Structure 1
Amino acid sequence: MTAQNTPATPAVAPPKKRRGALIAAVVIAMLVIGGLLFWLLRPAAASTVKLGVVGASEPYWDTYVAAAAEAGIEVELVDFADYNQPNPAVTEGELDLNQFQHIVYLAEYNAASGEDLTPIGSTAIYPLGLYSEQYTDVADIPAGSTVAIPSDPSNRARALLVLQSAGLITLTGGGSIFDTPADIDAAASKVTVKELDAALIGPALPDVAAGVINNDFVAKSGLSFADAIAKDDPNDPNALPYVNIFAATADRAADPVLTKLVEIYQNSPEVLAGVAEASANTAQPLKTPVADLQASLKKVEAETKAQG
Structure 2
Amino acid sequence: MSAKILKTAALTLPLTLLLSACATGAPAPGGSGNADAAPETVKIGVVGAGDPYWKTYVDAAADAGITVDLVDFSEYTQPNPALSAGELDLNQFQHIIYLATYNVQAGDDLVPIGSTAIYPLGLYSQKYDSVADIPAGETVAVPNDESNQARGLLVLQSAGLVKLKDGGSTLSTVADVLDGSKVKVEAMDAAFTATSLPDVAAAIINNDFVKDAGLSFDDAIATDDPSDPSAFPYINIFAARAEDADNPTYAKLVEIYQNTQAVLDGADEASGGTAEFVKTPAADLVTSLHDVEADIRDNQ
TM-score by length of 1: 0.85
Which of 119, 132, 143 aligns to 2:125? It is 132
Give the corresponding residue for 1:233: 225
Does structure 1 residue 287 correspond to structure 2 residue 279?
yes
Paired amino acid for 1:117: L
**Cα distance in 2, alignment partners of residues 172 and 179 from structure 1:** 8
Which of 275, 281, 305 aligns to 2:297? It is 305
Q: Percent identity?
A: 63
Give the corresponding residue for 2:195: 203
Paired amino acid for 1:104: I
8 Å CA contact 1:103, 1:243 repeated in 2: yes
Which of 85, 88, 100 aligns to 1:95? It is 88
Which of 166, 183, 186 aligns to 2:179? It is 186
Does structure 1 residue 173 correspond to structure 2 residue 166?
yes
Paired amino acid for 1:277: E
**Cα distance in 2, alignment partners of residues 299 and 220 from structure 1:** 34
Give the corresponding residue for 1:61: 54
Paired amino acid for 1:129: G
8 Å CA contact 1:47, 1:72 repeated in 2: no
Does structure 1 residue 143 correspond to structure 2 residue 133?
no
Paired amino acid for 1:252: D
8 Å CA contact 1:60, 1:271 repeated in 2: yes
Q: Which has the higher contact order (CA 8 A, sep 6+)?
A: 2
- RMSD of the alignment, in Å? 1.2
Q: Which has the higher helix share?
A: 1
Q: 1:202-251 CA deviation, whole Å, 9 max, x = no partner?
A: 11101110000011111111111111000001112111111100000111
SS of 1:147's equivalent in the other structure is strand
**Cα distance in 2, alignment partners of residues 109 and 138 from structure 1:** 32
Counting only pairs closer than 5 Å after superposition, residues 267-278 of structure 1 correspond to structure 2 as 267-278=259-270
SS of 2:112's equivalent in the other structure is strand
Does structure 1 residue 217 correspond to structure 2 residue 209?
yes
Give the corresponding residue for 1:104: 97
Give the corresponding residue for 1:265: 257
**Cα distance in 1, alignment partners of residues 96 and 269 from structure 2:** 24
Q: 1:245-288 CA deviation, whole Å, 9 max, x = no partner?
A: 00001111110000000000000000001001101100111101
What 5-or-longer segments of structure 2 have no aligned partner? Answer: 1-33
Which of 43, 48, 72 aligns to 2:41? It is 48
SS of 1:305's equivalent in the other structure is helix
Paired amino acid for 1:191: V
- The CA deviation at 1:90 is 0.9
Paired amino acid for 1:93: G
TM-score by length of 2: 0.87
SS of 1:190's equivalent in the other structure is coil
SS of 2:193's equivalent in the other structure is helix
Paired amino acid for 1:245: I
**Cα distance in 2, alignment partners of residues 143 and 193 from structure 1:** 12
8 Å CA contact 2:46, 2:73 repeated in 1: yes
Q: 1:62-107 CA deviation, whole Å, 9 max, x = no partner?
A: 0000000000000000001101111111111110000000001100
SS of 1:211's equivalent in the other structure is strand
The total of aligned residue pairs comes to 267
SS of 2:41's equivalent in the other structure is strand
- The CA deviation at 1:47 is 3.2
**Cα distance in 2, alignment partners of residues 157 and 176 from structure 1:** 7
- The CA deviation at 1:45 is 2.6
SS of 1:134's equivalent in the other structure is coil
**Cα distance in 2, alignment partners of residues 76 and 238 from structure 1:** 34
Does structure 1 residue 152 correspond to structure 2 residue 145?
yes
Counting only pairs closer than 5 Å after superposition, residues 112-131 of structure 1 correspond to structure 2 as 112-131=105-124
Q: Which runs of 4+ in 1 moved over 6 A?
A: none
